[in-house]
Structure 1
Amino acid sequence: MLHIRKSSRASWSGPASTGSGTLDLGRRGASLPFSLRGRVGDEPATNPEELLGSALAGCFSMSLANLAEENGTPVESISAVAVVHLVQTEEGFRIPTVELSCVVRVPGVAQEVVREMAERAERTCPVRLLYTADVTLRVEVES
């Protein structure tokens, strides 16, 4: 059985409203600033929701590419976007929905086959399995 461990690190300084932090991603050492103002305002910083969206879009893209390759029809390109909806409820903040959309180019493959592979990739990619939110998928197949 294959078991892979990946890690990231977060650090934070100051109060939530005015403080900020850094997210250190993986072994390449990429570091991203994040803050509450980046979450709810216009500050040029990221936030956990954007990272969850990136993780889902990336995982979905790799899963779809893998399914297409297993099908003998490798993809030429995939562009995926995940829009994560953060809402405040009486119990606190939660993510009820995520809109996942993609534009896929798989030359010589029927659009319905590409859509079926995309739906399977959305259902089975490991990051998707972490979500309790409803994830909707919109697929555009380019010829």
Structure 2
Amino acid sequence: MPIRTASARWQGNLTEGSGNIRTGKGGLQGNYSFKSRFEEGEGTNPEELIGAAHAGCFSMAFSKALADAGTTPTSVETTAKVHLDKTDAGMTVTRIELDTVGEVPGIDEAQFAKLAETAKQNCPISRLLSPGAEITLTARLTS
């Protein structure tokens, strides 16, 4: 399997500096700052990138689980809300809320929910993050 890379460059001090984050092949690039991370400033932040990675990984894992069960999805769309909180250990990602909507012909709500939970448990990014962060899932089936 290939090794994935990403890079970041920061210039200046913590509160007034700025930086740029880039994935290895340049598919994603973004500016970030103290304000974009800890306030509501323009730009991205590491937590958004974790959310994007988690949402993407989960969507793929869920699509695979659905197809393996004989119900190939038309689409799976997932949003991840990453909570960065101050704890005794310092700033910590404490919780990630996955919210997914799937358009899956020929499946009932119970099977959909079961496969979504299985995908959450088996997604590589969930496995990486779950020892330290609570991961919740809301899964909705659309027609």
Tell whether the structures are fold-level matches, with TM greater than 0.5: yes
Gaps of 5+ in 2: none
Distance in 1, Cα, partners of 2:89 & 2:39: 22
- Give the superposition deviation at 1:29: 4.4
* Pairing partner for 2:38 from 33, 37, 40: 40
1:130 aligns with 2:117: no
Give the aligned partner of residue 57 of structure 2: 59
In structure 1, C-alpha distance between the alignment counterparts of 2:2 and 2:64, rounded to whole Å: 18
The number of equivalent residue pairs is: 141
CA deviation after TM superposition for structure 1 residue 44, in Å: 1.3
User: For residues 16-66 of structure 1, what are the alpha-carbon distances to aligned partners after superposition, in whole Å with 9 as ceiling and x for unaligned?
Assistant: 101111111131443211111101222211111111111111100000111
Identity of aligned residues (%): 35
Give the superposed CA RMSD. 1.2
Find the aligned partners of 1:4 and 1:120 in 2 and give their Cα distance: 25
In the alignment, the residues of structure 1 paired with residue 88 and residue 43 of structure 2 have an alpha-carbon distance, to the nearest angstrom, of 27
1:141 — aligned with what? 141
Which residue is 1:4 aligned to?
2
Return closer, same or farther for 1:84/1:29 CA change in 2, 3 Å cut-off: closer
TM-score (norm 1): 0.93
More moved, 127-136 vs 89-98: 89-98
1:28-107 equivalences under 5 Å are 28-107=26-105
Q: Runs (4+) of structure 1 moved beyond 2 Å?
A: none
Alpha-carbon distance in structure 2 between the residues aligned to 1:93 and 1:31: 24
User: CA separation in 2, counterparts of 1:93 and 1:28?
Assistant: 28
